[in-house]
Chain A
């Protein structure tokens, strides 16, 4: 009768139940693994055999057949080592089958029998809870991570022998991991970054708060060395703190991609700043076995694209679906993965090739400007509501006092988000930045004065039709920040001054 052990395969950023079945049969000794495994899975034979023998057990001198079910699912990685070893020992009668049936096992084996940590334990633990199993056995380094999921007993096992001891009931090994403490504001969050570090650039600071309050994407233009990166890095410090569900999701994604192995729950919103040489699949995800890209790593956080005009066009175009839908489907051969991508975009660029546009000392020709604009244009700019220019602070500003602090701004942002949440309850729309035309019509009612300002810009060609929608969304956020129910003319005017409008290229006439 074959032995069964439950484990999990990682598909995208989810986990799928995999049953490891082992059959021992009389005949010439052999060891075969079937079930669509990759090289790492096939090589498990050598690790498992060595680990079993080096842990003081006997490797069965029989025909050993290992099946990883379901057979259609591609399996990759070394985390099947431990479940395969356990199933063989169970088939050989070394382990009690009934206890094993209530647990999942997940981990890589060293030749000496030590259990090595594997990626994606949080996703595995969530699968364990969904399947109604009692707990999961993982490497000791991953126990805290597994314990983040309520109702799952996380067992740490340093060696294969520890696993056997645990299952035989000889020692209550490491079952008593305390539930994780409630997450709260972490004084060490964001590595000490604060808006108070910024000097000058009062308008940009305002734009950052507006971006955080409404979830609007932001474009900053300015000459090199004016602190665009510094400003962008401080956006996460004023975003509302991660909720528990969001934090679990961020931790799960980062665990699967190997970014995070501490076992702690993420408390900071992620900040990702890929270099402009990034490929489309690096940005949105891809590969034969689809892996999440930067947009998914920035889920619930900030994606910062510095030197926007230097990115490959294909990379920027690929951002359209993630920005529109909040998720991306990666299709490769017969494998499809869907990754969540609710990030906030901050882009920075030079205003023109020489960086001095609008200052009078610009050396670029009209054609240079046009080429630069073309590089930026397209579906990306369509999703960016805010646009500010960043200036180099003067010497006296550098010596002056800070203008704003992250703590104060975050309070304003949280208050504005609460107003939005009340208004948008039941619509599934997370923030003002995602209001569509119908919702804008419902929630942004303008009086005659405000309407007049909008049409004046429109008639003059300074505002495009799409730009108008973006302005209205911004005005809604500005009103929320001011604690106002109605959007007034002042909010519309401020929104106009902060607008990003690529559609209105023809100015002057």
Chain B
């Protein structure tokens, strides 16, 4: 099934009117209202002096050409009349007409298909582009922990928190999905080329803008409304007072989705936005378990932690030792033991579970932010209440 001409034309029209939209958005007209307009009204409202030219181009639109452009960019258009279009994205007239998908479109329903409460669980993880080292670690750990529990990590692939969350989810083997503010085949920001490539190959990158569309300033908040709609919960890791993440949180609240935030320092301007969310009643996220509680509910079945689920015994032991601050390799180790310990450290670093501190010593990334148990808990242990023993990882 391919996208229908009307929807393709709508998406194409957005691309055509992007510069006008930019002006309107700078003129502080609410984006939600603009995007909810019918095609004709949209042209009338935005096109201005270009109106007749736009209307002529609108009449001459060729769906075949649009499909060919998608095929050339290896992008699949999924329109709202398509069965694969996520039901949770049908949030009203302002919802995207077409979701352009880079990557295997069959993954779409597995990642974010169906209704937000009954479909695959997903959480939006968003935050500042200029993140502190702690925020990056927290975002990576959240991404890893959520993904390991089967929760799709939805984010925007921006620098900082967004990409750290994607990276964490990729470390755990997915699932994760990126929503871009430009054509989905473009790696934007360019610095995240490698991440984009991996996401396309293993997970999914989507956008409401057709291939080739550049990012506009208005398309970032527009992208944020999609992120908010796809996630059951929006988790804000670090946000200053005026931050795009707060826009995502606003959209989520408008849609009736939950908002949660990681608390930051009381007086720091870097976390004033996320702390303000907490003041307005957002759920407090102190660790991965809290995040899972927010997404899956308190009566969720116990999920094995990523480390217990995936780490071989030897690596888990080394990780425990590093997290406990012990010297690794052990100071009295013989040659073979030193070699084995060095191999383990490098493997853990490759998994993002440890990193090298400035002095060359290995430290665990965000200890306490891993739902790690040295021995997997037996299945069917019953529901866990809040305040569980997830910090037992270091004992």
Task: Say yes or no for A221: interface residue by CB 8 A criterion.
Answer: yes
Please name all residues of chain B whose beta carbon is closer than 8 Å to the beta carbon of A127 when the two chains form the complex: none
Known: A372-B358, A391-B327, A494-B346. 10 other contacts (CB 8 A): A200-B332, A202-B329, A202-B332, A202-B338, A206-B338, A221-B359, A352-B359, A459-B198, A462-B355, A500-B360
Q: B329, A203: Cβ atoms under 8 Å? A: yes
Query: Within the assembled complex, what's the spacing in Å between the Cα atoms of A206 and B345?
Result: 15
5 contacts between A and B (CB under 8 A): A221-B361, A358-B363, A393-B331, A490-B343, A492-B346
Task: Say yes or no for A251: interface residue by CB 8 A criterion.
Answer: no
Query: Within the assembled complex, what's the spacing in Å between the Cα atoms of A222 and B357?
Result: 12
Query: Within the assembled complex, what's the spacing in Å between the Cα atoms of A459 and B199?
Result: 12
Query: Within the assembled complex, what's the spacing in Å between the Cα atoms of A358 and B328?
Result: 13
The stretch that binds A, out of B132-140, B249-257, B287-295, B298-306, is B132-140
Residues of B343-395 whose CB lies within 8 A of A: 343, 345-347, 349-352, 355-363, 365
Task: Say yes or no for B169: interface residue by CB 8 A criterion.
Answer: no
Query: Within the assembled complex, what's the spacing in Å between the Cα atoms of A394 and B331?
Result: 9
Please name all residues of chain B whose beta carbon is closer than 8 Å to the beta carbon of A366 when the two chains form the complex: 133
Query: Within the assembled complex, what's the spacing in Å between the Cα atoms of A352 and B358?
Result: 8
User: Distance in Å from the Cβ of A233 to the closest Cβ of chain B?
Assistant: 20
Residues of A396-410 whose CB lies within 8 A of B: 397, 400, 403-404
Per-residue interface assignment for chain A, residues 357 to 394, with 1 indicating a CB less than 8 Å from any chain B CB and 0 otherwise: 11110000010010011000000000000011101011
Query: Within the assembled complex, what's the spacing in Å between the Cα atoms of A221 and B362?
Result: 12
* 8 nearest A-B residue pairs (beta carbon): A351-B359, A358-B357, A200-B331, A496-B346, A508-B136, A497-B342, A493-B346, A456-B350
Please name all residues of chain A whose beta carbon is closer than 8 Å to the beta carbon of B163 when the two chains form the complex: 509
User: Distance in Å from the Cβ of A474 to the closest Cβ of chain B?
Assistant: 11
Chain A residues within 8 Å of chain B by Cβ, number: 49
User: Distance in Å from the Cβ of A163 to the closest Cβ of chain B?
Assistant: 60
Please name all residues of chain A whose beta carbon is closer than 8 Å to the beta carbon of B360 when the two chains form the complex: 219, 221, 351, 387-389, 500
Task: Say yes or no for B221: interface residue by CB 8 A criterion.
Answer: no
Please name all residues of chain A whose beta carbon is closer than 8 Å to the beta carbon of B159 when the two chains form the complex: 509
Task: Say yes or no for A507: interface residue by CB 8 A criterion.
Answer: yes
Task: Say yes or no for B93: interface residue by CB 8 A criterion.
Answer: no
Please name all residues of chain A whose beta carbon is closer than 8 Å to the beta carbon of B195 when the two chains form the complex: 459
Q: Determine the residue in chain B with the shortest Cβ distance to A478.
A: B339
- Contact among A351, A352, A498 for B342, CB-based, below 8 A: A498
User: Distance in Å from the Cβ of A227 to the closest Cβ of chain B?
Assistant: 12
Please name all residues of chain B whose beta carbon is closer than 8 Å to the beta carbon of A387 when the two chains form the complex: 360
Please name all residues of chain A whose beta carbon is closer than 8 Å to the beta carbon of B337 when the two chains form the complex: 202
Query: Within the assembled complex, what's the spacing in Å between the Cα atoms of A496 and B342?
Result: 8
User: Distance in Å from the Cβ of A79 to the closest Cβ of chain B?
Assistant: 49
User: Distance in Å from the Cβ of A470 to the closest Cβ of chain B?
Assistant: 14
Per-residue interface assignment for chain B, residues 49 to 92, with 1 indicating a CB less than 8 Å from any chain A CB and 0 otherwise: 00000000000000000000000000000000000000000000
Query: Within the assembled complex, what's the spacing in Å between the Cα atoms of A203 and B351?
Result: 22
Residues of B305-342 whose CB lies within 8 A of A: 325, 327, 329-335, 337-339, 341-342
Q: A459, B194: Cβ atoms under 8 Å? A: yes
Task: Say yes or no for A39: interface residue by CB 8 A criterion.
Answer: no
Please name all residues of chain B whose beta carbon is closer than 8 Å to the beta carbon of A456 when the two chains form the complex: 350-351
- Contact among A199, A357, A490 for B358, CB-based, below 8 A: A357
User: Distance in Å from the Cβ of A290 to the closest Cβ of chain B?
Assistant: 37
Task: Say yes or no for A453: interface residue by CB 8 A criterion.
Answer: yes
Please name all residues of chain B whose beta carbon is closer than 8 Å to the beta carbon of A462 when the two chains form the complex: 349, 355-356
Please name all residues of chain A whose beta carbon is closer than 8 Å to the beta carbon of B136 when the two chains form the complex: 508-509
Q: Determine the residue in chain B with the shortest Cβ distance to A498.
A: B342
Residues of A479-509 whose CB lies within 8 A of B: 490, 492-498, 500, 507-509
Please name all residues of chain A whose beta carbon is closer than 8 Å to the beta carbon of B334 when the two chains form the complex: 202, 403
Query: Within the assembled complex, what's the spacing in Å between the Cα atoms of A497 and B339?
Result: 10
Q: A201-B331, A497-B343 are in contact. Are A357 and B164 (CB under 8 A)?
A: no
Q: A351, B361: Cβ atoms under 8 Å? A: yes
Please name all residues of chain A whose beta carbon is closer than 8 Å to the beta carbon of B359 when the two chains form the complex: 221-222, 350-352, 357-358, 389
Query: Within the assembled complex, what's the spacing in Å between the Cα atoms of A358 and B327?
Result: 11
Could you list which residues of chain B lie within 8 angstroms of chain A, going by C-beta atoms?
A: 131, 133, 136-137, 140, 159-160, 163-164, 167, 194-195, 198, 325, 327, 329-335, 337-339, 341-343, 345-347, 349-352, 355-363, 365
- Contact among B327, B358, B365 for A351, CB-based, below 8 A: B358
Q: A508, B345: Cβ atoms under 8 Å? A: no
Query: Within the assembled complex, what's the spacing in Å between the Cα atoms of A495 and B343?
Result: 8
Q: A508, B332: Cβ atoms under 8 Å? A: no
A-B pair number, CB within 8 angstroms: 126
Task: Say yes or no for A460: interface residue by CB 8 A criterion.
Answer: yes
Task: Say yes or no for A457: interface residue by CB 8 A criterion.
Answer: yes
User: Distance in Å from the Cβ of B134 to the closest Cβ of chain A?
Assistant: 9
Query: Within the assembled complex, what's the spacing in Å between the Cα atoms of A493 and B351?
Result: 12
Q: B329, A494: Cβ atoms under 8 Å? A: no
- Contact among B331, B339, B352 for A397, CB-based, below 8 A: B331
Q: A373-B358, A457-B350, A459-B198 are in contact. Are A508 and B137 (CB under 8 A)?
A: yes
Residues of A417-466 whose CB lies within 8 A of B: 453, 456-457, 459-460, 462
Please name all residues of chain B whose beta carbon is closer than 8 Å to the beta carbon of A219 when the two chains form the complex: 360
Q: Determine the residue in chain B with the shortest Cβ distance to A504.
A: B356
Most central of A456, A496, A497 by chain B CB within 10 Å: A497
- Contact among B327, B341, B355 for A507, CB-based, below 8 A: B355
User: Distance in Å from the Cβ of A150 to the closest Cβ of chain B?
Assistant: 42
User: Distance in Å from the Cβ of B137 to the closest Cβ of chain A?
Assistant: 5
Q: Determine the residue in chain B with the shortest Cβ distance to A400.
A: B332
Query: Within the assembled complex, what's the spacing in Å between the Cα atoms of A498 and B343?
Result: 10
Most central of A206, A366, A495 by chain B CB within 10 Å: A206
Please name all residues of chain B whose beta carbon is closer than 8 Å to the beta carbon of A393 when the two chains form the complex: 331
User: Distance in Å from the Cβ of A458 to the closest Cβ of chain B?
Assistant: 8
Most central of A387, A460, A494, A508 by chain B CB within 10 Å: A508
Please name all residues of chain B whose beta carbon is closer than 8 Å to the beta carbon of A206 when the two chains form the complex: 335, 338-339, 342
Q: A460, B350: Cβ atoms under 8 Å? A: yes
Most central of B332, B342, B358, B362 by chain A CB within 10 Å: B358
Q: B332, A497: Cβ atoms under 8 Å? A: no
Please name all residues of chain B whose beta carbon is closer than 8 Å to the beta carbon of A203 when the two chains form the complex: 329, 333, 338, 341-342
User: Distance in Å from the Cβ of B232 to the closest Cβ of chain A?
Assistant: 25
Q: A202-B330, A202-B332, A394-B331 are in contact. Are A493 and B356 (CB under 8 A)?
A: no
Query: Within the assembled complex, what's the spacing in Å between the Cα atoms of A117 and B164?
Result: 70
Q: B167, A460: Cβ atoms under 8 Å? A: yes
- Contact among A201, A360, A494 for B343, CB-based, below 8 A: A494
Q: B133, A493: Cβ atoms under 8 Å? A: no
Q: B325, A509: Cβ atoms under 8 Å? A: no
Q: Determine the residue in chain A with the shortest Cβ distance to B359.
A: A351
Please name all residues of chain B whose beta carbon is closer than 8 Å to the beta carbon of A498 when the two chains form the complex: 342
Q: B346, A509: Cβ atoms under 8 Å? A: no
Q: B361, A358: Cβ atoms under 8 Å? A: yes
Please name all residues of chain B whose beta carbon is closer than 8 Å to the beta carbon of A199 when the two chains form the complex: 331
User: Distance in Å from the Cβ of B219 to the closest Cβ of chain A?
Assistant: 23
User: Distance in Å from the Cβ of A317 to the closest Cβ of chain B?
Assistant: 22
Q: B350, A453: Cβ atoms under 8 Å? A: yes
User: Distance in Å from the Cβ of A424 to the closest Cβ of chain B?
Assistant: 24
Residues of A15-73 whose CB lies within 8 A of B: none
Query: Within the assembled complex, what's the spacing in Å between the Cα atoms of A394 and B365?
Result: 26
Please name all residues of chain B whose beta carbon is closer than 8 Å to the beta carbon of A495 when the two chains form the complex: 346
User: Distance in Å from the Cβ of A231 to the closest Cβ of chain B?
Assistant: 13
Residues of A195-228 whose CB lies within 8 A of B: 199-203, 205-206, 219, 221-222
User: Distance in Å from the Cβ of A457 to the closest Cβ of chain B?
Assistant: 6
